[in-house]
Structure 1
Amino acid sequence: MIDIQVLQPDDWQLWRSLRLQALAEAPHAFGATLADWQGSGDREQRWRARLAIPGSRNVIARLEGRPVGMVSGVPAERGGDGPDDDAIELISMWVSPEARGRGVGDQLVGEMERWAAGLGVRTMRLSVRPSNAAAVALYRRHGLKETGESIGDATPDRTDQERVMAKQVPGRR
């Protein structure tokens, strides 16, 4: 059974544990690096602040009681002009290798979509590297489509820049 838990800043140690696992296991999937969050970057205040982003929702998934996945929803930015009140962005999505293929990712994306619908936002979006085929397939299953936008730094050979995927959130009020 998969259980979803919404995290608060006091849950920073749990978030920290999963985030460090994610950055170590799938460095290609994130804009941040493990080194960014270790050493001088590994501070309680920083972890708490990450979970306290205004307007955000941070969740983990537990499979048979063990934390095995995570995702955050944050207010999307409007091209450098501040937050876009009509969109949320999924960030920091990760499922541990032993839990992949067991519906954990589907539960995490579904939770974010329900949250977005409850906020009354119009669009849910995210960015993903095209080489992350499993993640792209997961997002497509949930109705996200490529927008044609690319963001972030490309890989050194310029073949794998992050692509934006988005969908309209059902039930917008």
Structure 2
Amino acid sequence: MTVTLVTLSSDDWRVWRSLRLAALAEAPEAFGSRLADWVGADEGRWRERLSIPGAMDVVALDSGTGSPIGMVTGTPSARPGAGAELISLWVDPAARRRGVATLLIDGVATWAAAAGAPRLELSVMAQNESARRTYERNGFAVAASSGDELTMTRGL
């Protein structure tokens, strides 16, 4: 499978909506948001989600079919000097174990490094071992634990 990464704008809200709703339905325990919070969201809310100041929203497309198969967002950290954050990573189950997550993570890491971020940070549920292993394979290490959530970081 050949994968193409595409950076989205708020005009691409329909693509993001389809992936985000699929992600929340397929892996509800992996996200802070819930499907019920987003399933009835109007166009304005979806556009707003794709308009986080300084953020980059990316989808992975199967180049053969043009179908979206994954998503991720990179955001500037809310904490000054902390770097950048990787949020909302999800890959369609049919496309897993094919390097799609790594491509998405690398896309955000490249964006963050170009923006001058010293490191990339993310949060993951401690019980989500598959996601933790994916992040560890991609250079992340646990930096802190807060209840059921782990903070992982990767230098850039």
TM-based fold match above 0.5 = yes
State the SS of the aligned residue for 1:36: helix
Tell whether the 8 Å contact from 1:29 to 1:128 is kept in structure 2 after alignment. Answer: yes
Tell whether the 8 Å contact from 1:144 to 1:167 is kept in structure 2 after alignment. Answer: yes
Residue in 2 aligned with 1:133? 129
What root-mean-square deviation, in Å, do the aligned CA atoms of Structure 1 and Structure 2 show? 1.1
- Segments of 5+ residues of structure 1 without an aligned counterpart are 79-83, 155-160
**Distance in 2, Cα, partners of 1:68 & 1:11:** 15
How many aligned positions are there? 153
Normalising by the residue count of structure 1, what TM-score does the alignment of the two structures yield? 0.85
Residue in 1 aligned with 2:153? 166
Residue in 2 aligned with 1:62? 61
Q: How far does the alpha carbon of each residue in 1:26-74 deviate from its partner, in whole angstroms, 9 at most, with x for none?
A: 00000000000023xx110110010010000000001232100000011
Find the partner of 1:120 among 111, 116, 121.
116
**Distance in 1, Cα, partners of 2:152 & 2:94:** 26
CA deviation after TM superposition for structure 1 residue 85, in Å: 4.4
Counterpart amino acid of residue 115 in structure 2 = L
Residue in 2 aligned with 1:25? 26
Runs of 4+ off more than 6 Å = none
Residue in 2 aligned with 1:148? 144
Counterpart amino acid of residue 150 in structure 2 = R
Tell whether the 8 Å contact from 1:75 to 1:85 is kept in structure 2 after alignment. Answer: no
Normalising by the residue count of structure 2, what TM-score does the alignment of the two structures yield? 0.94
What is the percent sequence identity of the aligned residues? 46
CA deviation after TM superposition for structure 1 residue 86, in Å: 4.3
- Segments of 5+ residues of structure 2 without an aligned counterpart are none
State the SS of the aligned residue for 1:92: strand
State the SS of the aligned residue for 2:77: strand
1:31-42 alignment runs, 5 A limit: 31-39=32-40, 42=41
Residue in 2 aligned with 1:158? none
CA deviation after TM superposition for structure 1 residue 148, in Å: 2.0
